[in-house]
Structure 1
Amino acid sequence: MTVTAETKGFVYTPTARVFHWVTAILVLAMVPAGITMVNIGPGKLQNTLFDFHRSTGVILFVITAARLAWRLSHPPAPLSSDIPMWQRTAARATHVLLYAVLLGSPILGWVATSAYPAPIPVYGLFTLPPIIGPNRELSNTLFNVHQVIGIIFSIAVVIHIAAALHHRIVLKDDVMTRMTG
């Protein structure tokens, strides 16, 4: 689609689009790493995946906080009134869930890792300090919750992608263009 004067107000800002696509790339790398790291045996690969997953979680937290601040100060134009209200509501709810998980899950992972106890090096640049003392039982519980949240998040991401593709391929409307520019 060509961006015209009519559709320009419905396109996200370049900054919002960069935040979105960087987040998408990091999520699409981190989630498979998280799944793999808990399903392979101990060893160098598992340790590398744990470090990558934790480091990427920290970076995603920072990016998401900045992204949310940007979004709150630069609200996107509303979806077209041609889109049914239930779809607009579903899109809003999905975005809220994605933001909540991208902010909450790294904190939960930090607490669980602190309780384990294990260090959280961030790409070898610095190490996050533990935020609670050792408590292996609490750590196991929190990691289980973290994993369930990760599954819910993955489902929400798939729904988000499927909805965007549905709008692009089936409905052939401009919804996906809002984020592709």
Structure 2
Amino acid sequence: MNQSMNQTQNTSFSLIARMLHWLMAIGILSMLFIGVGMVTSVSEKHNWLLAVHKPLGALLLLLVCLRLIVRMIKGTPPLPADLPGWQKRAALASHWLLYLLMFTMPLIGWAMVSASGTPVTLAGGWTLPPIAPDNANVFAVLRSTHRYLAYLLFATVLLHLAAGLFHGLIRRDGVLESMTRNRA
């Protein structure tokens, strides 16, 4: 690649992509901790946590859809040319796994709540329509699936964080900075 092309190529994610990334990071970590609090609490806090968890999950579903649209329109900066091929493949696979989990977790949660016969009520009293039949067996399968996918999401988030820190602190190759500031 010639020098002039290199200078004009954007090496950072767009501002909207960076904002969505960090907003979703806060939301997802909050959801994971709220979820742990919900399953370990038998007090009145359980109902409060559940009342926060449902609309936050719906918001994250909306945000991940928006994020995918932004990614398709704006693209992503290239990974460093000297990055080994297996690391490039691992980065691509882990990002798509994150997207898959960010999309499926709220859908499975919504279906699980639907199967329990309980509505998902959002701010302003809006209620989402049920997307699964009111059925105890379906609820049990979806609840178990939601739990195990939450473990996978947490592990994938930790791997993503470790990779970001590896790029930022050890390789110092600009990958972390592409999501923390504009380096166009």
Match of residue 39 from structure 1: 40
Q: 62-71 or 164-173, which moves further after superposition? A: 164-173
Q: What secondary structure is seen at the aligned counterpart in 2 of 1:76?
A: coil
Deviation at 1:123, TM superposition (A): 3.5
- For 1:11-90, what aligned pairs fall within 5 Å after superposition? 11-41=12-42, 43-90=43-90
Return structure 1 stretches of 4+ with deviation > 3 angstroms.
Answer: 5-8
Q: For 1:151-179, what per-residue CA distance to the aligned partner results, in whole angstroms no more than 9, with x for missing partners?
A: 00100000000110111112222110000
Q: What secondary structure is seen at the aligned counterpart in 1 of 2:39?
A: helix
Distance 1:99 1:125 in 2: 29
Is the contact made by 2:17 and 2:67 (CA closer than 8 Å) also made in structure 1?
A: yes
Deviation at 1:69, TM superposition (A): 0.7
Distance 1:71 1:36 in 2: 33
Match of residue 152 from structure 2: 152
Deviation at 1:77, TM superposition (A): 2.1
Deviation at 1:20, TM superposition (A): 0.5
- TM-score when normalising by structure 1: 0.92
Report the count of equivalent residues. Answer: 176
Distance 1:74 1:8 in 2: 12
Q: What secondary structure is seen at the aligned counterpart in 2 of 1:82?
A: coil
Distance 1:176 1:143 in 2: 35
Distance 2:9 2:21 in 1: 18
Deviation at 1:131, TM superposition (A): 2.1
- Return 5+ residue gaps in structure 1 as ranges: none
Distance 1:8 1:25 in 2: 29
Deviation at 1:16, TM superposition (A): 0.7
Match of residue 93 from structure 1: 93
Residue type of the partner of 2:74?
Answer: H
Residue type of the partner of 2:109?
Answer: G
Deviation at 1:88, TM superposition (A): 1.1
Deviation at 1:8, TM superposition (A): 6.1
Distance 1:79 1:7 in 2: 16
Deviation at 1:101, TM superposition (A): 0.9
Distance 2:137 2:39 in 1: 18
Match of residue 3 from structure 2: none
- Return 5+ residue gaps in structure 2 as ranges: 1-5
Cα RMSD (Å) of the superposition?
Answer: 1.5
Deviation at 1:125, TM superposition (A): 4.1
- Percent identity, aligned pairs only, is 33
Distance 1:95 1:124 in 2: 34
- TM-score when normalising by structure 2: 0.90
Match of residue 132 from structure 1: 132
Q: For 1:25-53, what per-residue CA distance to the aligned partner results, in whole angstroms no more than 9, with x for missing partners?
A: 11111110011101111x32101111211
